[in-house]
Amino acid sequence: MSNDNNNSLKKIMLNGLLNKNPILVSGMVIAPVIVLANNFKNAVMLVIAFSLITFFTLLVSSFVPKSIVYTIRIILYTLIGALVYVPSVILLNYFMPEGVEAIGIFFPLFITNSFIVTRSESIFFLETKGKMFLDIVFCILGYDAAVLIFAALREILASGTIGGKMTGMPASFRVFEHPFGGFIMLGLFAALFRSILLLIKRVRQK
Amino acid sequence: MDMLKNIILTAFTAVFAENIIFSGALGTSTLIIVSRNRKNLLGFGLSVTYITALMSVITYFLNKALRIDENSYIYTPLVYIIILGAVYILTLLCLWRFAPAVFRRMKKYIHISAFNCAVLGALFLISERCETLGEYFIHGLGIGLGFVLAVYLTAIVYDRLYSEKAPYSFRGYPLLLIYIGILGMAFWGLSGHTLKF
Amino acid sequence: MELKRKPEFNVMTDMLIVLLIMAVVSVYYYGMRAAAVIIVTAAVSVAADLVCLKLRKKERDRKDLSALLTGLTLGLMMSASVPYLEAAAAAIFAAVAAKHAFGGHGCEIFNPAAVGFLFASLCFPENMLTYPRIFTDIPMSSVVPSDILTQSMTKTFLVTGTSSVSLIDVLVGRFTGPMGTGFIIVLAVAAVFLMIRRSISAITFFTELAVMSLYAFICYDFDPMSVLYFFAGGMTLFGMIFLSCDYSVIPKTASSRFLYGLVISICLIVFCRYSATENAVVYAVIVSSPIGIELDRRSLSFADMLKKRKRRKGKGLLNSRNKLLGSISETLEMLDNDDKRES
């Protein structure tokens, strides 16, 4: 029994972090990453805001009963998100006002992110609250890790710096600072991630 | 004449130069879902344009009231969501009451076109950029159309992006991002300029 | 009514010959620095192609010259003073993101050379869009001192509306600009040669030429010099031949090729009017590529639709609109039949 539990635990962990990584595999909540995560500083702020809003919204959303009509349920999720936004923005504005300014309109946009809708719907398929809790945490962690690594790489490529310090790159590709550069870079990054996963799978099979 | 020029310019900017997907990336997740099926395009396009246009007009009046309070940014999203929800339910009810046939066909598009980053993001963008009621409306309409344009451009090459010929690590989602990025590069050529007549 | 094509290898060798001639001209104008840039883009393009094929575990097709063609086209579009690393970056980007990500040769959505050029010109605008004067001694070092560089003739023309370049100089490409794209006489001869050899699409080319000339004449008050500036500068004619009529991305039926040419010219006009960007043709080609794919899918139904319409309304009132539709459909039908016969 405990072995079974361990296995499913591992599966949830790996799903969130790797196999079903929200940003690299499923393509959820990519807008702020593409527009804003062109330097490490913004990415840190983005990750904090995303984790705060998504975690608490999903936590509260899990109490929404399934018997409510789908239409109303969707509105309820977003409403909860908007309510969670109020304390989050006050809190973050108190501690790091410049950060909140830097992410601008993308902070309130986390309310309607596709991650909240899909996760809160899929929660119904998981048996226990504990598993659901773990699932959310690892998905958010997977998202955060991917965004931070992506932003660091993007900053190195786009401006030759990391966290504002020079790295001595021979050329900087300014395209990657723009949203369209973000699209291309995220596409390349996701392809790289997928081929690495494939490689790991092959090595394991051998 | 001047007014017509302004209208065309605003609409052109909103649809092409500052396209919500290619230069704002808002609603990309929705685009990925919708572009899967080419048949849905018309219904989806109509409903998303309708929602952004209507909401932008409502936002104009809302902003007038909200801007009095300095701290309104804290609850602005909440107000937007409530109004959006109300518009959504009212639309569904109206359709259900007066045109049940249309209601049955459009039902599934309406929820995906009302609650996504593109619509809410459009409202924030419009509030930042526009001043008069006319601008609000045209910009809202343009953003909706621009979103539909982006979905259309993705849907027409959908089978190429997901074809067997593309290498496995690129197939699908990564390739879609690269495709949007390359188109975005081309559309970038339009931004930051003004139309000559 | 899919047109049967000439063997791809022959098309490619034709293109290769023309591109090599253009390369010789640019070496004559800009010296060994131009040759170095072209060699770098061509070599890197081929090498990147080989590496991508290796990574994808695909066999190399000996008759596939597409990588070389992309490299040469890309090289000719560059400034003769561009740093080598940046030229190489453009070639690598073209091979990876525009070609092999989409599945390699034959599956591209965009023309790889156009994408590579756009990428480089957005990454390094100050190096890509400033040009040395013709017949100046350009040092072979990677970074060229900026005092010998100026903006292109096109940029001056766009900003001031006039240019001091004389007629002869425009015709033989003796003006500052991308190194291989200005020699309008050679380009015109090349276009005719390629069309006679059926290596580029004549339908698309002439549609573009007609619409763009009409636009240029109206826009520049029927001043023939300005029209020449329009076609020679900003790589317009070069782009029409090598980027838009190139068989790798063009639709397959005659009617859709006609519409494709129309779409490209409209996009080009919009880009010209709306933004003061040089090289509007590159942007226009990229934006209209996906529409070309859609046209291909719908081309047959489009011709059929017009035919049906004509039949339905033919017996009743024959108003002018119906006549027009009828004549268009007949022309399209004729074109399609022509191509069928030839193939």
CA distances from C89 to A83, A174, A187, C42, C117 (A): 48, 12, 18, 12, 10
- On the CB side of B99, how many CA atoms lie within 13 Å of its CA? 9
Q: How far apart are CA A137 and CA A56, in angstroms?
A: 11
Phi, psi of C150 (to 5 degrees): -135, 175
Q: What mean pLDDT is predicted for residues C198-204?
A: 87
Q: How far apart are CA C248 and CA C206, in angstroms?
A: 18
Asked if residue A44 is part of any domain, the answer here is yes
SS3 assignment, position C300? helix
Total domains in the fold of chain A? 1
Q: What mean pLDDT is predicted for residues B6-13?
A: 85
Confidence of residue C222 (pLDDT cuts 50, 70, 90): confident
Predicted confidence at residue C323, as pLDDT, reads: 59
Separation in Å, CA of C124 to nearest CA in chain A: 7
Cβ-defined contact of B156 to C291 (cutoff 8 Å): yes
The string of pLDDT tens digits covering residues A154-201 is 999 888 888 777 777 777 888 898 899 999 999 999 999 999 999 999
Q: How far apart are CA B97 and CA B117, in angstroms?
A: 29
Q: What mean pLDDT is predicted for residues C68-88?
A: 93
Asked if residue A13 is part of any domain, the answer here is no
Assign residue C132 a region: left if phi > 0, alpha if psi is -120 to 50, beta otherwise? beta
Expressed as residue numbers, the domain containing A94 is: 21-205
Phi, psi of C200 (to 5 degrees): -125, 160
Q: How far apart are CA C48 and CA C56, in angstroms?
A: 12
Q: Is the pLDDT of residue C202 over 80?
A: yes
Asked if residue A94 is part of any domain, the answer here is yes
Predicted confidence at residue C335, as pLDDT, reads: 53
Q: Which residue has the tokens 């690892």?
A: A138
Least confident span in A45-59, C231-245, C307-321: C307-321
Q: Which of B149, B103, B120, B117 is nearest to B55 (CA)?
A: B120
Separation in Å, CA of A174 to nearest CA in chain C: 5
Name all chains with 3 or more CB-CB pairs below 8 Å to chain C: A, B
Cβ-defined contact of B183 to C286 (cutoff 8 Å): yes
Cβ-defined contact of A175 to C122 (cutoff 8 Å): yes
Contacts with A89 from chain B: Cβ below 8 Å: 73-74
Predicted confidence at residue C331, as pLDDT, reads: 59
Asked if residue A183 is part of any domain, the answer here is yes
User: How, if at all, do strands A161-162 and A165-166 pair?
Assistant: antiparallel
- Show the CA angle centred on residue B33, arms to residues C294 and C293, nearest 5°: 10
User: How, if at all, do strands A165-166 and C131-132 pair?
Assistant: unpaired
What is the dihedral angle through the alpha carbons of C211, C213, C218, C223, rounded to the nearest 10 degrees? 180
Asked if residue A8 is part of any domain, the answer here is no
The string of pLDDT tens digits covering residues C138-162 is 888 888 888 888 888 888 887 777 7
| CB burial of residue B12 (10 Å; 0-12, 13-18, 19+) | middle
Q: Is the pLDDT of residue C128 over 90?
A: no
Contacts with B166 from chain C: Cβ below 8 Å: 101-103, 107
Expressed as residue numbers, the domain containing C258 is: 8-342
Total domains in the fold of chain C? 1
Cβ-defined contact of A30 to B29 (cutoff 8 Å): yes
Contacts with C95 from chain B: Cβ below 8 Å: none
Q: Terminal CA-to-CA distance of chain C, rounded, Å?
A: 11
The number of angstroms, rounded, from the C-alpha of A159 to the middle of its chain's C-alpha atoms is 24
Q: How far apart are CA C271 and CA C221, in angstroms?
A: 19
Q: Is the pLDDT of residue C172 over 70?
A: yes
Q: How far apart are CA C90 and CA C74, in angstroms?
A: 8
Q: Which residue has the tokens 């022309």?
A: C331
Q: What mean pLDDT is predicted for residues B135-139?
A: 90
The number of angstroms, rounded, from the C-alpha of A10 to the middle of its chain's C-alpha atoms is 20
Separation in Å, CA of B184 to nearest CA in chain A: 5
Q: What mean pLDDT is predicted for residues C4-8?
A: 71
Of B74, B175, B185, the CB nearest to A180: B185
Asked if residue A49 is part of any domain, the answer here is yes
Percent of chain C scored above 90 by pLDDT? Answer: 40
Predicted confidence at residue A143, as pLDDT, reads: 93
Determine the residue of chain C that is closest to B182 in CA distance: C115
Q: How far apart are CA B8 and CA B10, in angstroms?
A: 6
Asked if residue C1 is part of any domain, the answer here is no
The string of pLDDT tens digits covering residues B147-161 is 999 999 999 999 889
Confidence of residue C54 (pLDDT cuts 50, 70, 90): very high
- Long-range CB pairs of C215-221 (<8 Å, 24+ gap) are C215/C265, C215/C269, C215/C272
DSSP A166: E
Name all chains with 3 or more CB-CB pairs below 8 Å to chain A: B, C
Q: Is the distance from CB of B195 to CB of B12 less than 8 angstroms?
A: yes
CA distances from C236 to A60, C40, C233 (A): 59, 24, 6
The string of pLDDT tens digits covering residues A48-77 is 999 999 999 988 888 888 788 877 888 888
- On the CB side of C92, how many CA atoms lie within 13 Å of its CA? 8
Least confident span in B1-15, C279-293, C327-341: C327-341
CATH of the domain at C67: 1.10.3430
Q: What mean pLDDT is predicted for residues B47-71?
A: 88
The string of pLDDT tens digits covering residues A138-152 is 989 999 999 999 999
H or E segment to which residue A161 belongs: strand A161-162
Q: Is B23 or C112 the better-scoring residue by pLDDT?
A: C112
- Mean predicted lDDT score pLDDT of chain C: 84
Asked if residue A2 is part of any domain, the answer here is no
How many residues are there in chain A?
Answer: 206
Q: How far apart are CA A205 and CA B4, in angstroms?
A: 66
The number of angstroms, rounded, from the C-alpha of B193 to the middle of its chain's C-alpha atoms is 22
Chain C stretch 115-174, residues whose beta carbon is closer than 8 A to a beta carbon of chain A: 119, 122-124
DSSP C250: S
The pTM for the full model equals: 0.90
Cβ-defined contact of B85 to A86 (cutoff 8 Å): no
Asked if residue A30 is part of any domain, the answer here is yes
Q: Is the distance from CB of A108 to CB of A18 less than 8 angstroms?
A: no
